[in-house]
Amino acid sequence: MILLYFIAALVSVPLLLIQRNKKSISIIAGFFFAIQLTFAIYTVLSKGVTELHFFTYDALGILFFALLSVLAPITLIHSYSYLHEETIQQYRLYHIGFILLSTAITGAYFSNNITVSWILIEITTLSAALLIYHRRTPRSLEATWKYVFVCSTGIAIAYLGILFLSVLLHGEHELNMSYENLANVVSNANPLYLKLAFLFILVGYSTKIELFPMYTIGIDANHAAPSPMSAFFSTALVNLGFVSVFRVVRMMASSEIFAWIQGVLLIAGILSLLVAAVYMRRTKNAKRFLAYSTVENMGIVAIAMGAGGVGYVAAIFHMLMHGMVKSTAFYQFSQVGRIYNSYNMFRMGRYFGINPLGATVLILALAGLCAVPPSSLFISELMTFSSLITADRWLYFVLATLLLCVVIYSLCSRLLHICYNSSADISKVDKSAIKPYLTYIQLVLILASFFFCFYQPDWLMSMLQEITAVFSS
Amino acid sequence: MIALLILLFAVSLIFFSITERFRTYAMLIGLQGVLLFGISFSLLREINTLNLIFIVVETLVFKALIVPWLLYRIIKRTKTARVHKGALPAFYSILLVILAMLVSVVLTSVLKDAKVDSFFLAISIFALLTGMILITTHKRIFSHMVGFLVIENAVFLFSIAAGAEMPMLINTAILLDIFISVLILGVFMTKIEDRMHSLETDMLTKLKD
């Protein structure tokens, strides 16, 4: 089935290239994402099956692919309100980039081989570049250059890490770089090589997961990319970075350097929180603000993995819920940006008066991002902090709490400013940019995420337990 | 023979710190491509047609021909012949590169493992550090690109140091990496020059908080 999915993507691209009107492009893209949704259902029904040797429908891949399959059509619908001034060429390339990105991410979610994952991650860099360059302005050109250059350098460094891992398999007739095979050899491996491999891979993949140290490139990409695509980058692409890092962490679970890995993750998490806390106070741009919020959330996820215990479940749950909350926030900001004709948050205000429904979504997203009930992120952050206490990591507990206070203050002050600032000049506000049907979709998405705060279904919890079982064995 | 080729590769890395002319950079990148071909060809235990095609395409076609040709084209088009005036003086560059060499020797002795060829490992770490020095101490995008290409060569050399018969997957990965570098060179650098009329990193400051 995954072969058919890849073929569908490969057929869609030349088909899109020959289309001469926007409607037919939209139909082809819609058809592709319908196939993707069908494929998602198939993966759920075929759990555990391996196809094309390199792709296994495991619980981790299924969960994140299911989320992607829901978010991709929503992103497509939001894109149509964004893409009305585009030339046919821009319109075509946007859809091609989106389909290629979505396909590469899907392949990487299910990849059971570290080299195949790396190749697909490299392909996401190319397809994302196509989308960041969409506007063809000096700003988008700068962002694309930086994205391709830094990501490629980062990914090359990650590849060095993979080569360090390949040394462990020295002597094998056929170099089997599957995660499973590598997990079998790490327990007797040279610890120094393992440490270097992990460091290189973490640094390289931090370009995708938007974690310290190479988080900056994600911020610039979110800033310059079309707003609906920023939502997709901050969820599906960031989730890809997480899945890739998580698979490596899980692979190393039986190695003697595992405690050291947890220490590295804790430090990376705290530094990401620090960066987010500082820059969320500084930035005026709404999209950069949300991108720094992603860095903050990735910091929490890294801390959860570093703390261990229930933290692993918390990390995956947090990523899934963050995907729903953050995409809602980005979709709404896409509308806000068009209404005010600017992404400068200091020029915005009285949003409740202009668009009450949109402002309601914004306030709900604020609650979601602050992780206060009914936000589902409350559950994952509660688990994260309890795992820190259980692991006696009091210093990290205190630091994370203090930094989160700054982040929450920034979130509240900026988003409430947009909703209630009465001194804002709203004479140039474009009310025609208000699209209630998009706001209703966002409302459904955020309420769906809140549902998981009150009820975590058994199937979800058992999948999470299955994914993290290796840590408790 | 292999020792001589790898030694020449190390000398080419030192040359990067001495030279200030972009034409020499392009020539050194081409030379490294030829040397990498020589090294990987000499190490082939058996002539496998597909493996040989991969090696020829990766090293001779891309690294030794297409990439230097693209670099020359950019130099001609942008009329930027030398590194930025504000770049680190050659004397300090040499000091940095010598330091990088020492660090790579120390790291290699720490990382010594029977499964890895120490000589290859030392030079690949040296190449990695040289690439990073080029990126961090230079202001022109062209130098950054050359730094990236040197890092790619370091990765290629390390894949040989790892001693494995490079399977198809690793070859594909390396080829993809090279393809991206060609794309960056061919598309983005030209576009940046066209739009911004400069290849200075100082011009790339439109994205800020």
Burial class (CB in 10 A: 0-12, 13-18, 19+), B113: middle
At residue A142, φ and ψ (nearest 5 deg) are -60, -45
Q: How far apart are CA A468 and CA A212, in angstroms?
A: 24
Question: Which B-chain residues 37-66 have CB contacts (< 8 A) with chain A?
Answer: none
pLDDT given for residue B80 in this prediction: 75
Judged by a CB distance cut-off of 8 A, whether residue B138 touches chain A is no
In contact, A203 and A213? CB cutoff 8 Å: yes
Judged by a CB distance cut-off of 8 A, whether residue B196 touches chain A is yes
In contact, B68 and B29? CB cutoff 8 Å: yes
Question: What is the number of CB-based contacts under 8 A between chain A and chain B?
Answer: 113
Q: Which amino acid is at A337?
A: G
Nearest-Cα residue of chain A relative to residue B147: A153
In contact, B172 and B127? CB cutoff 8 Å: no
In contact, B35 and B12? CB cutoff 8 Å: yes
In contact, A156 and A204? CB cutoff 8 Å: yes
Residue boundaries of the structural domains of chain A: 134-472
pLDDT (tens digit, 0 to 9) for every residue of chain B, 209 residues total?
888 999 999 999 999 888 888 899 999 999 999 999 999 888 876 667 877 888 888 889 988 999 899 888 888 887 777 776 666 777 888 899 999 999 999 999 998 888 888 888 999 999 999 999 999 888 888 888 899 999 999 998 988 877 655 566 777 777 777 777 777 767 777 777 777 666 666 666 667 77
pLDDT given for residue B44 in this prediction: 73
Q: In this predicted complex, what is the ipTM?
A: 0.89
> In this complex, which of B135, B167, B192 lies closest to A145 when CB atoms are compared?
B192
Q: Do B209 and A163 touch (CB under 8 A)?
A: no
Instruction: Give the DSSP H or E segment for A301.
Output: helix A286-307
Q: How far apart are CA A380 and CA A301, in angstroms?
A: 9
Query: From the CB of residue B14, how many other CB atoms can be counted at a distance below 10 Å?
Result: 16
pLDDT given for residue B166 in this prediction: 59
Average pLDDT, chain A: 95
Residue pLDDT, tens place only, A153-192 = 999 999 999 999 988 887 666 678 999 999 999 988 889 9
Judged by a CB distance cut-off of 8 A, whether residue B162 touches chain A is yes
Nearest-Cα residue of chain A relative to residue B168: A175
pLDDT given for residue B165 in this prediction: 55
Q: How far apart are CA A240 and CA A64, in angstroms?
A: 8
Give which of B157, B169, B193, B202 to mutate to test A binding, by max A Cβ within 10 Å: B169
Going B101 to B102 to B107 to B108, the CA torsion angle's sign is positive
pLDDT given for residue B183 in this prediction: 75
Count how many Cα atoms sit within 13 Å of the Cα of residue A367 in the half-sphere of its side chain: 15
CB < 8 Å to A223, chain B: 207
CB < 8 Å to A196, chain B: 111
Encoding tokens for residue B133?
């020095």
Residue pLDDT, tens place only, A299-341 = 999 999 999 999 999 999 999 999 999 999 999 999 999 999 9
Judged by a CB distance cut-off of 8 A, whether residue B106 touches chain A is no
Nearest-Cα residue of chain A relative to residue B116: A167
pLDDT given for residue B163 in this prediction: 63
Give which of A52, A152, A162 to mutate to test B binding, by max B Cβ within 10 Å: A152
pLDDT given for residue A168 in this prediction: 84
Write b or e for each residue in A197-221: b if 16 or more Cβ atoms lie within 10 A of its Cβ, otherwise e: bbbbbbbbbbbbbbbbebbbbbbbb
Q: How far apart are CA A362 and CA A359, in angstroms?
A: 5
A242, A283, A322 from A277: Cα distances, Å: 21, 11, 18
Query: From the CB of residue B174, how many other CB atoms can be counted at a distance below 10 Å?
Result: 22
Reference A464, options A321, A255, A299, A265; nearest CA is A321
In contact, B130 and B90? CB cutoff 8 Å: no
CB < 8 Å to B176, chain A: 119, 122-123
Q: How far apart are CA B207 and CA B209, in angstroms?
A: 7
Judged by a CB distance cut-off of 8 A, whether residue B85 touches chain A is no
CB < 8 Å to A276, chain B: none
- 3-state percent helix, strand, coil for chain B, nearest multiple of 5: 80, 0, 20
Q: Do B162 and A170 touch (CB under 8 A)?
A: yes
Q: Do A166 and B155 touch (CB under 8 A)?
A: no
Find the Cα–Cα–Cα–Cα dihedral A243, A50, A177, A313, rounded to 10°: 30
Interval A433-457 mean pLDDT: 96
Judged by a CB distance cut-off of 8 A, whether residue B152 touches chain A is yes
pLDDT given for residue B187 in this prediction: 74
Residue boundaries of the structural domains of chain B: 2-198
Instruction: Give the DSSP H or E segment for A50.
Output: strand A50-51
Find the Cα–Cα–Cα–Cα dihedral B36, B38, B41, B43, rounded to 10°: -80
Percent of chain A with pLDDT over 90: 89
Residues ≥6 apart with Cβ < 8 Å to B127: B9, B13, B150, B151, B153, B154, B157
Going B117 to B119 to B120 to B121, the CA torsion angle's sign is positive
Judged by a CB distance cut-off of 8 A, whether residue B3 touches chain A is no
pLDDT given for residue B84 in this prediction: 66
pLDDT band at A220 (very low <50, low <70, confident <90, very high): very high
